[in-house]
């Protein structure tokens, strides 16, 4: 399982591509995105996303709050985790910051699942 910006070129080893943003990425058509599934519900709440505003100094608190929100998403987390046991899964996000975003947190949570 890996994460990748949705704006990066799709590659064969991406496998099953899941968009994990609440909003559809700007400037990308659904036809060319090569997204297999869009799981809006796994993304941070609108309130949390707006509060974080991709400000690195807020990242640790964002991470804590987002992990709390993910506790209500057990079924979706299990679905992704099970899928990743069978094939390559790439979690796609649109944030410019490749280090401080929700996909980094989500990947960490999924990798800790048994």
Q: How confident is the model at residue 32, as a pLDDT?
A: 81
pLDDT single digits (tens) 70-105: 999 999 999 999 999 999 999 999 999 999 999 999
Q: How confident is the model at residue 33, as a pLDDT?
A: 86
| Banded pLDDT at 114 (limits 50, 70, 90) | confident
pLDDT single digits (tens) 30-45: 888 899 999 999 999 9
Is the per-residue pLDDT at 17 higher than 90? yes
Q: How far apart are CA 108 and CA 13, in angstroms?
A: 20
- Please answer whether residues 38 and 20 qualify as being in contact, where contact means their C-beta atoms are separated by less than 8 angstroms: no
* Mean pLDDT value across residues 8-18: 95
Q: How confident is the model at residue 30, as a pLDDT?
A: 84
Task: Give the side-chain half-sphere CA count within 13 A for 22.
Answer: 11
């Amino acid at each position: 399982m890996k994460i990748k910006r949705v704006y990066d070129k799709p590659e064969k080893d991406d496998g099953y591509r899941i968009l994990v943003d609440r909003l559809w990425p700007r400037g990308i058509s659904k036809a060319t995105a090569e997204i297999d599934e869009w799981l809006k519900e796994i993304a941070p709440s609108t309130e949390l996303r707006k509060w974080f505003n991709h400000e690195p100094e807020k990242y640790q608190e964002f991470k804590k709050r987002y992990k709390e929100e993910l506790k209500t998403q057990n079924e979706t987390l299990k679905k992704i985790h099970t899928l990743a046991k069978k094939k390559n899964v790439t979690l796609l996000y649109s944030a410019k910051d490749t280090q401080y975003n929700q996909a980094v947190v989500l990947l960490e949570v999924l990798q800790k699942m048994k």
